[in-house]
Amino acid sequence: MPRKRKDQPDLLNDYHLLSYDTLDSTNEEAKRLAKNGGRHGAVVWAKRQSEGRGRMGRHWVSAEGNLFVSILLKPSKPFQELGQLSFVAAIAAIEALAPVLPEQGDLRCKWPNDVLLDNRKLGGILLESFQAGDGAQWVVVGVGINVDSFPPRTEFPATCLKDAGVELISAKIVLSRFIHHFIERYNEWDRKGFAPIRRRWVQSAWGMNQRLCIRMPEAEFEGVAQGIDPSGSLLLRLDDGSRQQIHAADIFPAEEAVSA
C-alpha cells in the first residue's frame, strides 16, 4: 500500500508535522528523512505501522486509533547525554496526559522507557541515535501511546486511555498535547541540562524505594530502587548493602516477577 503524506503547518518554531496514513515505522521514516535532507523538528505521525518496534527490537502492536509518533532532533549535546531524551519524552507524556485522566488515575514513569497508568503500561519510548552522511549526530524519539486499545497477554499488563474512562479523546488530540509539552521540556533540557528533568522524573517514578526484580538477558536478581543517576542509569541497593548501577534491563515488582 503506498504511503500518503500530508505536510502540516509549523507546530511551533522549527517543529513541523508530517502525517501519514501508513508507515512501516515512524522511527524508520524519521531516520530516512535525516539521511535525505530532513531537518531538526520533523514530527512523523502515522495512523498505522506495519513494522512498529519497541526497545530491544521487540514488536510493537500498532492498531489504528493509538498514537505512533517520532520526533527527529539534531541536538548540540555530547553523545553520552542523548539518552536523557527518553526521560524528557516520559515527562512530556505525563504532563500531556495527566489533565485528561480521571482524578483517581495514577500516572507514572517506569524506568527505563515506559509510561504507566494504574500500574499498567500505557505507552513506551524508543530512542535511536545515529549519524547521517555528513557525520552529524541525530536522535529519533519514538513514542507510542495506547489511546483506543491495548494488546492482551503482555508480559507487563497494559491499558489504554479509553479503557481507563477517558472520553472524547483521539490520537490526534494526544499528539497535539504531547508535542506541546515535549517542546517545552526539550528546550528546558537544552538550556538547563538533565537536572530539572531528572528531578521531575523521580517525582513521577514507579517503583522507587520498592523491591524490584531486575531482568537482564544474562541474569535476574532483586534490589531496592533508589532513583536514577545523572546518566539515567537505575540505582539499586542490593541485599548486601552495596549499590549497583543498572544501564539496561526490564524491571518488575519483585513479588510478581516470574522467569521468562
CATH code of the domain in which 244 resides: 2.30.30.100
Same domain, 167 and 70: yes
Asked, for residue 149, whether it belongs to a domain, the answer is: yes
- Amino acid 60: pLDDT: 52
All three cell numbers of 86? 527518553
Instruction: Note whether 126 and 113 are within 8 A (CB).
Output: yes
All three cell numbers of 19? 502525517
Asked, for residue 37, whether it belongs to a domain, the answer is: yes
Asked, for residue 31, whether it belongs to a domain, the answer is: yes
Asked, for residue 234, whether it belongs to a domain, the answer is: yes
Q: How many residues does the chain have?
A: 260
Same domain, 97 and 72: yes
Residue 125, φ and ψ in degrees, nearest 5: -130, 135
Q: What is the DSSP string of 147-167?
A: SS---SS-SS-B--TTTTT--
Same domain, 138 and 29: yes
Same domain, 198 and 220: no
All three cell numbers of 10? 509549523
Same domain, 230 and 194: no
User: Which residues, including other chains, have CB under 8 Å from residue 103's CB and lie 6 or more apart?
Assistant: none
Same domain, 70 and 183: yes
Same domain, 177 and 95: yes
Dihedral sign (CA 214, 219, 222, 226): negative
Same domain, 240 and 114: no
Give the range of the structural domain holding residue 163, as residue numbers without chain letter: 5-203
Cell 517520532, located at residue: 70
Same domain, 54 and 180: yes
- Amino acid 209: pLDDT: 94
Look at residues 175, 214, 186, 201 and name the one whose alpha carbon lies nearest to residue 107. 201
Q: What is the pLDDT along the chain (260 residues), one digit of tens a residue?
A: 345 455 443 445 579 999 999 999 999 999 999 989 889 999 999 999 887 665 445 555 567 899 999 999 999 999 899 999 999 999 999 999 999 998 778 999 999 999 999 999 999 999 999 987 667 889 999 999 999 999 888 888 999 999 999 988 999 999 999 999 999 999 999 999 999 999 999 999 999 999 999 998 888 999 999 999 988 999 999 999 999 999 999 999 987 544 33
pTM over 0.85: yes
Same domain, 216 and 180: no
Same domain, 87 and 150: yes
Asked, for residue 258, whether it belongs to a domain, the answer is: no
Q: Which CATH number fits the domain that encloses residue 165?
A: 3.30.930.10
Which segments of the chain does DSSP mark as H helices, in order?
26-35, 85-97, 171-192, 195-203
How many domains, in total, are found in the chain? 2
